[in-house]
Structure 1
């Protein structure tokens, strides 16, 4: 039987936002006269905005910096950029529309809710998702299972009756810890150690392949 619910990660699965966060941090910190290289700004995606900002200030010997204030400035800019120019990965809209009415959909992400809301509004996909579990909604972020457990509780769905779509080791570990079967989407990555234990697909298209990986038949082919 196909799953009752499909739980999507956001950054790197639905939305191509890596460069957005890099640019948002660079534009925010240039107000301090700081030029932040791409590889340094990209580290925020591997940790957390607040931890990233706190580390930057600490390395420069700045005590009592308004870390939360600078995170808010960056976040407001990132959400604005996503809303003005949303970059959905190829295949996202057809897949979401094909799943509508066949499965209950939710997003489980470690990003800020405002980013997800801006993307969904700009792409016209907001009505397809029943719930968004974002950074603000989980006590512990991925690889902890909190976000997935919260989504399952809100949907009233058992872990075994759902499937998670992830693009990173942390996300896959979070879904596994919650007991949710996993699909790993590569987009720009090949299958490897990071995707072991999950069903791997290189992209969310062709539609028939993505649906099959999630446990659904492609009705358009009949």
Structure 2
């Protein structure tokens, strides 16, 4: 039975998708095992500035950029008072303490090479900052396999707003219907759906299959290695 996702009240059926022209990958939690590390850095930043927030509460928001995550935990007055300072502290903490611990999931370069061999362009659309994104590509060993990148620095709003995906589409010079997104959070799927992009979900970032399907994912895989192994049957090869 085909799975459908609602896009502007028009269901997009998996079996009806034409062969895409590009694959647009998220990074954190999709290609890199980094979600818990980001959650720790954010939790420590929040606590340092007087906000007692649990690890689980913070982790549920990873996948959003700081512009979307901070308002979940800080009032408007608190954001004006120390929101920017807290986000800067978080960034420095992550880069010094946790970035060296980030590792790629299995078969990430293999998957991207398979995508390129199939004739698709490869793009990365991440809520990370530009300086973090460049380092991530190096850690994942995919710098030379990516045609286009977009970070939160390029967009007015981060996921689940569609800005990052819309910028990638413009850089690729294609429409949303010509691409497939791959992400680990419902925020990836929500953002992609708003840009009219079908989305594959991966479970390696820790979000549930149910939440990914509710976000709009048309198919779910355990992680990059499984998507690589089952590439011929995936929306990337249809």
Structure 2 SS opposite 1:165: strand
Which structure ranks higher in relative contact order (CA pairs < 8 Å, sequence separation ≥ 6)?
Answer: 2
- Aligned counterpart, 2:237: 216
Within the alignment, does 1:74 sit opposite 2:102 as a pair? no
Structure 2 SS opposite 1:154: helix
- Aligned counterpart, 2:203: 186
Residues 201 and 217 in structure 2, CA contact (< 8 A), matched pair in contact too: no
* Structure that is richer in strand per residue: 2
* Long gaps (5+) in structure 1: 218-222
Q: CA RMSD in A?
A: 3.2
- Aligned counterpart, 1:21: 38
Give, in angstroms, the shift of residue 145 of structure 1: 1.8
Structure 2 SS opposite 1:157: coil
Give, in angstroms, the shift of residue 109 of structure 1: 1.9
The change in CA–CA distance for 1:69 and 1:115 in structure 2 (over 3 A counts) is: same
Give, in angstroms, the shift of residue 106 of structure 1: 0.9
Residues 64 and 158 in structure 2, CA contact (< 8 A), matched pair in contact too: no
Q: Which residues of 2 match residues 131-150 of structure 1 at below 5 A?
A: 131-150=148-167
Aligned length: 216
Give, in angstroms, the shift of residue 58 of structure 1: 5.4
Residues 186 and 212 in structure 2, CA contact (< 8 A), matched pair in contact too: yes
Within the alignment, does 1:122 sit opposite 2:121 as a pair? no
Residues 24 and 125 in structure 2, CA contact (< 8 A), matched pair in contact too: yes
Q: 2:124 aligns with which of 95, 99, 107?
A: 107
Give, in angstroms, the shift of residue 198 of structure 1: 0.7
Residues 115 and 236 in structure 2, CA contact (< 8 A), matched pair in contact too: no
Residues 201 and 210 in structure 1, CA contact (< 8 A), matched pair in contact too: no
Listed one character per residue, the Cα deviations across residues 21-80 of structure 1 (whole Å, up to 9, x for unaligned) are 122234546766887642344365265435655776659x97963431221121123234
- Aligned counterpart, 1:200: 220
Distance 1:3 1:147 in 2: 19
TM-score, reference length from structure 2: 0.74
The change in CA–CA distance for 1:43 and 1:194 in structure 2 (over 3 A counts) is: closer
Distance 1:157 1:94 in 2: 25
- Aligned counterpart, 1:220: none
The change in CA–CA distance for 1:56 and 1:145 in structure 2 (over 3 A counts) is: closer
The change in CA–CA distance for 1:193 and 1:94 in structure 2 (over 3 A counts) is: same
